[in-house]
Structure 1
Amino acid sequence: MAVHKFILDDTFDETLYTLIGIHCSLEDYRLAYLINQYLGITLTRKSSDLDFNKGQVSYSIYEWEDHNQLITWNLVSNICKTQELKIRNYSSLFDTQEKITKTFHLLPEHKTVNYFLKIESEFSFKKEKYILDSILKIPQVVTAYSIDSGQLKSKDNLIFK
């Protein structure tokens, strides 16, 4: 009896999505509201943030599932700042505590990006350009651009399930 062997390529690992980097100084909830207004979508905050390093680092995430077109939209913060107290022991009368702020990035290769808009669907160039133009119309957004997900080293951080 012949043995048949199926070899599955990495095609199932790669989901098709569009990734847009957004530079702005807005709070996450305000940006989500403005994107909802300009794109006509309904991003809402997920009940739990993205957690990394066993809960020490978390990123805010907003999601909208368009069931009509089978598209999932995610707006996620790229920057997480944490503070910790470090006690300095001097051989003097006063011991001091120092606050240290550490900054973590969801995608370290794009440290200047404040937020990412991930759209899980394959769009035509015209549709992607329309989305970018709509985001750029938001007065508080400095710039927004498409990011090639094939060039990302830490693309595993973009799996939100």
Structure 2
Amino acid sequence: MSVTKKHLTLDLDFDLELDFVLVGISSSLRDYRLCHFVYKHTGLAFVRGKEDYIDHKGYLKEKEKDEMDYHIIYERTKQKGTKKHFFTIYRYCDPNFEFEYYIINNRSLDGQALVPELPNFDYFLIVKHFIDQDDLRVLLDDIKSINEVMLTKELDPTSLKSKENLIF
């Protein structure tokens, strides 16, 4: 009796969920000043932090304060183990939570780049959920009209080597 063995190969290809619009911003402004001028030009009232301390039911969230205030990237090194890099982040969520906007600094508090392959951008605007192309164009034009903003450009997050740094 002959036994034939069959090999089954299972290919698990996990794609990162990059369901957001990414815009690079070059500006000499500090992050809080940029948010102020974005508010004046667009009406988007950004607040500091990645998320609110209170959940939708009114209870205090049981997370570390740093986790809600900063976007944290963990770097594993052989010499020092795991190192945390803290990136300042600002958010605006419309009242119905249809849109979420985030402005995140491309430099951490210790100078590490969030997206090293794009060093000319000081900030990234991330728009989660759907935004119409016309609305996006108007938003970019409004941000470009800020005197201290040199460049705004829509970017393709799938083409970035460090795209996983933009997921939160």
| TM alignment of 1:109-148, pairs within 5 A | 109-148=117-156
For the Cα contact (< 8 Å) 1:74–1:117, is it kept in 2? yes
Task: For structure 1, list consecutive stretches of 5 or more residues without a partner in the other structure.
Answer: 1-7, 83-102
Partner of residue 71, structure 2: 50
Report the TM-score when normalising by structure 1: 0.73
CA distance in 2 between partners of 1:61 and 1:10 (Å): 27
- Please provide the CA RMSD for this pair: 2.3
Task: Report SS of the residue matched to 2:25.
Answer: strand
Partner of residue 63, structure 1: 91
Task: Report SS of the residue matched to 2:151.
Answer: strand
Partner of residue 100, structure 1: none
1:24 to 22, 27, 30: 27
Task: Report SS of the residue matched to 1:138.
Answer: coil
CA distance in 1 between partners of 2:18 and 2:158 (Å): 11
Deviations 1:41-66 (A, max 9, x none): 11100152122345642110001111
Report how far residue 26 of structure 1 moved: 0.7
For the Cα contact (< 8 Å) 2:25–2:151, is it kept in 1? yes
Deviations 1:26-48 (A, max 9, x none): 11100011111211111100152
Partner of residue 41, structure 1: 44
CA distance in 2 between partners of 1:57 and 1:15 (Å): 22
Task: Report SS of the residue matched to 1:130.
Answer: helix
Report how far residue 134 of structure 1 moved: 0.5
Pairing 1:78–2:74 present: no
CA pair 70-25 structure 1, distance change in 2 beyond 3 A: same
